[in-house]
C-alpha cells in the first residue's frame, strides 16, 4: 500500500532530509528526535537539519542541538 510518504511500513523509517522536504528511503511510521529520542510520526515531522541529517520533535529540541550553551541553566 502506498501513502504520501511512499510504501507503508511499521517501525522506524530511514529518511533523507532535504531543504523544505524529506524523502523516505526505508519505510516506517516514525523517526526519532536526535535530542530527546522521542518517536516522531512522519505525518507530524516538521523540524530537521539537512546538514546534520537528523530530526527534532520540537523547536526547543532544535535550539538545544544548535545552541547547547543557551539551554544550560545560569548560575
74 pLDDT above the threshold of 70 = no
Quick one: pLDDT at residue 10? 84
d(CA 61, CA 39) in angstroms, rounded, equals 13
Residue range 1-47, pLDDT digits in tens: 334 545 567 899 999 999 999 999 999 999 999 999 999 999 999 99
* pTM score of the predicted model: 0.79
3-class DSSP assignment, residue 53: coil
DSSP string, 6-59: EE--SSBPEEEEETTEEEEEE--SEEEBTTT--EEEGGG--EEETTTTEEESSH
Amino acid at each position: 500500500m502506498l501513502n504520501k510518504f511512499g510504501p507503508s511500513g511499521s517501525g522506524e523509517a530511514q529518511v533523507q532530509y532535504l531543504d523544505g522536504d524529506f524523502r523516505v528511503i526505508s519505510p516506517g511510521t516514525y523517526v526519532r528526535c536526535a535530542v530527546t529520542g522521542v518517536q516522531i510520526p512522519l505525518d507530524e515531522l516538521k523540524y530537521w537539519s539537512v546538514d546534520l541529517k537528523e530530526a527534532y520533535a520540537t523547536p526547543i529540541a532544535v535550539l538545544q542541538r544548535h545552541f547547547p550553551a543557551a539551554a544550560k541553566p545560569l548560575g
